[in-house]
Amino acid sequence: MIVLCKVNAMDRTLHAASERFLDSLRAKSPRTRSTYATGLRRFTSWAREEAGSDEITLDRLDDGALEGFYLALADELGPEREATIATYVAAARAFLRHCLREGSLTTLSIERAVERLHGVRAAPRYRTPRVDDALSIIVDYVKNELPALIPADAGEETRLRFARDRALLQVLYGTGMRRAEVARLDRRDVDDGHAQQALITGKGRRERVVFFDDDAREALRAYLGLRRDTYVPLFIRHRGAPRDPGRGGERLRLSPQSVWKIVKRYATAVGVTATTHGFRHLKATSLLNRGANLSHVQDILGHASPDTTKRIYAHYETAHLREVFDRFSVPVDEASARARRRRRSPEELTR
């Protein structure tokens, strides 16, 4: 009875429901909250425009809400922005589910809404990533050439930055981790460069094991051996004496954007086009080219579903199937000759 009173007294305006939904996301990552907030703003703006009013109640939404929102976005953004449209629609769907759970929305069925959405939605297109093995030139540069380029009179900060960058690029190349995952690494995760593997929490708060090769571990040991601090983050900024490093040096931690900038800087130095995500694709393709199967690559990269890996790297699976097809298919001449031999009588075979 108390629950019913709370539901009845709940503010059922779209604005109030949106505020409650965003508040429910406070345990999510900042990026998730930001993405959902952007999608929700687009959805509420569309809903108000459809209703012709700046403030509406949730009972104006029906089973066609997701369908109408999707079509409006498709008209505005075009088919080439399908990924963006999908993100906005996912935020709207999460919002509707939240309203249904809290009891403030009773005028639609999420199952019927999703079914109607699927009826008009374009099939998602997955672009095969362009993998440039020239990315390895960047890592080779920081591993073998960069140390010789450091001036003999270089200060401690300069040496620390070079050692950090070398270790960072070796980790990106060797593990196939996302830049945000690399930025979140702590020293204890790598046991100061002695650990062969680490348990990390990746995208969607899914845990997985990542593995460090010998080059990455050696570079990490060299970098951490130069550090004269006990800060927690693995990769930190090295510019001047920090005024307020934060607890455990947390304010010195490199951000994902800083990781991206470091990759871009060295890519420019060697004349290669590169992104941090390119190292993930390079890791995946190198594993697949050497015989790893898609399910193993899925686990190494931390994809939530094998379908994700299969869609992205479908051309490698197709190439493998083609190899099997060519290897085990029987030419018609061989098959017919075999069939003719089986059809011959015993008398013919003994002649």
**For the segment 215-245, what is each residue's pLDDT rounded down to a tens digit?**
999 999 999 999 999 999 999 999 887 788 8
The neighbour count for residue 118, using CB atoms within 10 Å, is 11
Q: Where in the chain is the domain with CATH 1.10.150?
A: 2-120
The single-letter code of the amino acid at 253 is: R
Q: Where in the chain is the domain with CATH 1.10.443.10?
A: 135-277
pLDDT at site 152? 83
pLDDT at site 127? 56
Domain covering 2-120 assigned CATH 1.20.1630 in the classification: no
Q: Which helix (H) or strand (E) holds 199?
A: strand 197-201
Helices (DSSP H) in the chain: which residue ranges? Answer: 2-9, 14-24, 30-51, 65-77, 82-102, 110-120, 135-140, 146-149, 156-175, 179-183, 187-190, 214-226, 256-270, 276-289, 294-301, 306-312, 314-328, 332-343, 346-350
CA distance 96 to 65: 9
pLDDT at site 347? 60
Residues of the chain with pLDDT under 70: 1-10, 122-132, 304-325, 344-351
**Active site amino acids:** 178, 203, 277, 280, 303, 313
Let me know: does 133 contact 277? Beta carbons within 8 Å.
no
Dig out the tokens for 291 from the structure. 């015989």
CA distances from 310 to 157, 236, 326 (A): 44, 35, 21
The DSSP result for 294-320, as a single string, is HHHHHHHHT-SSHHHHHHHTHHHHHHH
pLDDT at site 241? 78
Express as a percent the part of the chain with pLDDT over 70: 85
Q: Which residues in 133-165 are b (16+ Cβ under 10 Å) and which e?
A: eebebbbebbbeebeeeeeeeeeeeebbbbbbb
The residues with which 179 forms a beta bridge, in sequence order, are none
Dig out the tokens for 1 from the structure. 């009875």
pLDDT at site 7? 44
Q: Which of 252, 260, 170, 272 minimizes the C-alpha distance to 213?
A: 170
Dig out the tokens for 17 from the structure. 């429901």
CATH, domain 135-277, list 3.40.50.1370, 3.30.1330.100, 1.10.443.10, 2.40.160.40: 1.10.443.10
Does the predicted model carry a pTM greater than 0.85?
no
The single-letter code of the amino acid at 54 is: D
CA distance 303 to 299: 7
pLDDT at site 2? 36
The DSSP result for 229-288, as a single string, is ---SBSSB--SS--S---GGGGGGBPPHHHHHHHHHHHHHHHT----HHHHHHHHHHHHH
Average pLDDT across the chain, whole number: 84
pLDDT at site 291? 78
pLDDT at site 6? 45
pLDDT tens per residue, range 60-113: 899 999 999 999 998 888 877 888 888 899 999 999 999 999 999 988 899 999
